[in-house]
Structure 1
Amino acid sequence: MTIPTDRGLVAITKDARGRTAVMVGTSIADGQIDGVYAMHVAPKQIVVDPRVRLSAGEHGQFTTEPVEVYESGNAVQIRALDATADLRRM
Protein backbone atom coordinates (compact mmCIF):
# COMPACT_ATOMS: atom_id res chain seq x y z
CA MET A 1 0.00 0.00 0.00
CA THR A 2 1.35 3.41 -0.92
CA ILE A 3 1.20 6.56 1.15
CA PRO A 4 -0.68 9.52 -0.40
CA THR A 5 2.46 11.05 -1.92
CA ASP A 6 5.63 9.03 -2.42
CA ARG A 7 8.94 10.69 -3.23
CA GLY A 8 11.87 8.99 -4.90
CA LEU A 9 13.14 7.70 -8.21
CA VAL A 10 10.56 6.06 -10.47
CA ALA A 11 10.61 3.21 -12.96
CA ILE A 12 7.74 2.60 -15.37
CA THR A 13 7.74 -0.99 -16.61
CA LYS A 14 5.53 -3.33 -18.62
CA ASP A 15 5.40 -7.08 -17.94
CA ALA A 16 4.91 -9.95 -20.42
CA ARG A 17 1.12 -9.62 -20.08
CA GLY A 18 1.30 -5.94 -21.01
CA ARG A 19 0.48 -4.67 -17.50
CA THR A 20 2.19 -1.43 -16.60
CA ALA A 21 3.69 -0.80 -13.16
CA VAL A 22 4.96 2.43 -11.63
CA MET A 23 7.59 1.67 -8.97
CA VAL A 24 9.05 4.17 -6.52
CA GLY A 25 12.48 3.34 -5.14
CA THR A 26 15.65 4.67 -3.60
CA SER A 27 18.07 4.39 -6.53
CA ILE A 28 18.59 3.38 -10.14
CA ALA A 29 21.55 1.08 -10.86
CA ASP A 30 22.39 -0.21 -14.33
CA GLY A 31 18.98 0.86 -15.64
CA GLN A 32 17.07 -1.01 -12.91
CA ILE A 33 15.30 0.37 -9.85
CA ASP A 34 16.50 -0.64 -6.37
CA GLY A 35 14.93 -0.28 -2.95
CA VAL A 36 11.33 -0.30 -4.19
CA TYR A 37 9.00 0.83 -1.40
CA ALA A 38 5.83 1.68 -3.35
CA MET A 39 4.22 0.26 -6.48
CA HIS A 40 1.17 1.12 -8.56
CA VAL A 41 0.18 -1.89 -10.70
CA ALA A 42 -1.94 -1.57 -13.85
CA PRO A 43 -3.02 2.06 -13.42
CA LYS A 44 -5.68 3.15 -15.90
CA GLN A 45 -3.60 6.21 -16.80
CA ILE A 46 -0.13 7.59 -16.04
CA VAL A 47 0.31 11.37 -16.21
CA VAL A 48 3.91 12.59 -16.32
CA ASP A 49 4.72 16.24 -15.62
CA PRO A 50 6.53 17.71 -18.67
CA ARG A 51 9.37 18.81 -16.34
CA VAL A 52 10.13 15.16 -15.46
CA ARG A 53 12.92 13.63 -17.53
CA LEU A 54 12.65 9.93 -18.39
CA SER A 55 15.50 7.74 -19.60
CA ALA A 56 15.37 4.30 -21.18
CA GLY A 57 16.29 1.40 -18.92
CA GLU A 58 16.59 -2.36 -19.25
CA HIS A 59 12.89 -2.98 -18.55
CA GLY A 60 11.24 0.37 -19.30
CA GLN A 61 11.76 4.01 -18.41
CA PHE A 62 13.04 5.67 -15.27
CA THR A 63 13.34 9.18 -13.87
CA THR A 64 16.73 10.84 -13.68
CA GLU A 65 15.83 12.89 -10.57
CA PRO A 66 13.61 12.24 -7.54
CA VAL A 67 9.92 12.99 -8.16
CA GLU A 68 6.57 12.90 -6.36
CA VAL A 69 4.07 10.15 -7.17
CA TYR A 70 0.43 10.14 -6.12
CA GLU A 71 -2.95 8.84 -7.27
CA SER A 72 -5.61 11.23 -8.50
CA GLY A 73 -8.85 9.64 -9.63
CA ASN A 74 -7.95 6.79 -11.99
CA ALA A 75 -4.51 8.19 -12.80
CA VAL A 76 -1.07 7.91 -11.26
CA GLN A 77 0.53 11.35 -11.35
CA ILE A 78 4.30 11.76 -11.57
CA ARG A 79 5.44 15.32 -10.98
CA ALA A 80 8.73 17.11 -10.54
CA LEU A 81 9.75 18.17 -7.06
CA ASP A 82 9.43 21.91 -6.65
CA ALA A 83 12.01 23.31 -4.27
CA THR A 84 11.77 26.88 -5.50
CA ALA A 85 9.30 28.11 -2.89
CA ASP A 86 10.79 30.41 -0.28
CA LEU A 87 9.25 29.72 3.12
CA ARG A 88 10.21 33.20 4.32
CA ARG A 89 7.60 34.68 1.97
CA MET A 90 4.69 32.58 3.22
Structure 2
Amino acid sequence: MKVTIDIPDALLAQARNTAAREGTTLHALVEEGLGAVLVRHRKRRARFEWREASFGGRGLQPGVDVSDWSSGAIGVWRPNAQDKE
Protein backbone atom coordinates (compact mmCIF):
# COMPACT_ATOMS: atom_id res chain seq x y z
CA MET A 1 0.00 0.00 0.00
CA LYS A 2 1.27 3.44 -0.82
CA VAL A 3 1.10 6.16 1.81
CA THR A 4 2.25 9.77 1.78
CA ILE A 5 3.84 11.12 4.95
CA ASP A 6 5.67 14.33 5.81
CA ILE A 7 9.23 13.83 7.07
CA PRO A 8 11.56 16.69 7.98
CA ASP A 9 14.21 17.23 5.29
CA ALA A 10 17.10 16.54 7.66
CA LEU A 11 15.58 13.23 8.81
CA LEU A 12 14.90 12.15 5.23
CA ALA A 13 18.47 12.97 4.21
CA GLN A 14 19.81 10.99 7.18
CA ALA A 15 17.55 8.05 6.30
CA ARG A 16 18.65 8.09 2.65
CA ASN A 17 22.33 8.19 3.67
CA THR A 18 21.83 5.31 6.09
CA ALA A 19 19.99 3.23 3.48
CA ALA A 20 22.75 3.83 0.92
CA ARG A 21 25.49 3.03 3.43
CA GLU A 22 23.75 -0.22 4.44
CA GLY A 23 22.97 -1.20 0.86
CA THR A 24 19.21 -1.18 1.34
CA THR A 25 16.30 0.95 0.19
CA LEU A 26 14.59 3.81 1.94
CA HIS A 27 11.39 1.75 1.79
CA ALA A 28 13.03 -1.18 3.61
CA LEU A 29 14.60 1.11 6.21
CA VAL A 30 11.27 2.82 6.99
CA GLU A 31 9.45 -0.52 7.12
CA GLU A 32 12.04 -1.96 9.52
CA GLY A 33 11.99 1.11 11.75
CA LEU A 34 8.20 1.30 11.91
CA GLY A 35 8.01 -2.42 12.71
CA ALA A 36 10.52 -2.02 15.56
CA VAL A 37 8.57 0.88 17.07
CA LEU A 38 5.29 -1.05 16.90
CA VAL A 39 6.83 -4.08 18.63
CA ARG A 40 8.19 -1.85 21.39
CA HIS A 41 4.77 -0.25 21.92
CA ARG A 42 3.04 -3.64 21.95
CA LYS A 43 5.41 -4.93 24.65
CA ARG A 44 4.69 -1.89 26.82
CA ARG A 45 0.94 -2.40 26.56
CA ALA A 46 1.00 -6.17 27.03
CA ARG A 47 1.06 -6.03 30.85
CA PHE A 48 -2.04 -7.58 32.34
CA GLU A 49 -3.64 -5.81 35.25
CA TRP A 50 -6.28 -7.31 37.50
CA ARG A 51 -9.43 -5.27 37.79
CA GLU A 52 -11.07 -4.66 41.15
CA ALA A 53 -13.37 -7.65 41.63
CA SER A 54 -14.44 -7.39 45.25
CA PHE A 55 -18.18 -7.59 45.80
CA GLY A 56 -18.72 -6.31 49.32
CA GLY A 57 -18.95 -9.67 51.07
CA ARG A 58 -18.02 -10.37 54.67
CA GLY A 59 -14.52 -11.67 53.93
CA LEU A 60 -13.30 -15.20 54.51
CA GLN A 61 -15.62 -17.76 55.96
CA PRO A 62 -14.74 -19.30 59.33
CA GLY A 63 -12.33 -22.21 59.01
CA VAL A 64 -10.66 -21.00 55.79
CA ASP A 65 -6.91 -20.65 56.16
CA VAL A 66 -5.47 -18.68 53.23
CA SER A 67 -2.04 -20.23 53.81
CA ASP A 68 -3.50 -23.74 53.36
CA TRP A 69 -4.76 -24.43 49.84
CA SER A 70 -6.57 -27.58 50.80
CA SER A 71 -8.83 -25.85 53.34
CA GLY A 72 -10.07 -23.42 50.70
CA ALA A 73 -10.24 -26.02 47.95
CA ILE A 74 -12.55 -28.24 49.99
CA GLY A 75 -15.21 -25.54 50.08
CA VAL A 76 -14.79 -24.65 46.43
CA TRP A 77 -14.67 -28.10 44.89
CA ARG A 78 -16.88 -29.98 47.31
CA PRO A 79 -19.56 -27.67 48.69
CA ASN A 80 -20.83 -28.72 52.10
CA ALA A 81 -17.80 -31.04 52.52
CA GLN A 82 -16.88 -29.25 55.73
CA ASP A 83 -20.37 -29.90 57.07
CA LYS A 84 -19.89 -33.64 56.62
CA GLU A 85 -16.54 -33.83 58.41
Q: TM-score of the superposition, structure 1-length normalised? A: 0.24
Radius of gyration: which is bigger? 2
Larger relative strand fraction = 1
Higher-RCO chain (CA-CA 8 Å, sequence separation at least 6): 1
Q: TM-score of the superposition, structure 2-length normalised? A: 0.25
Larger relative helix fraction = 2
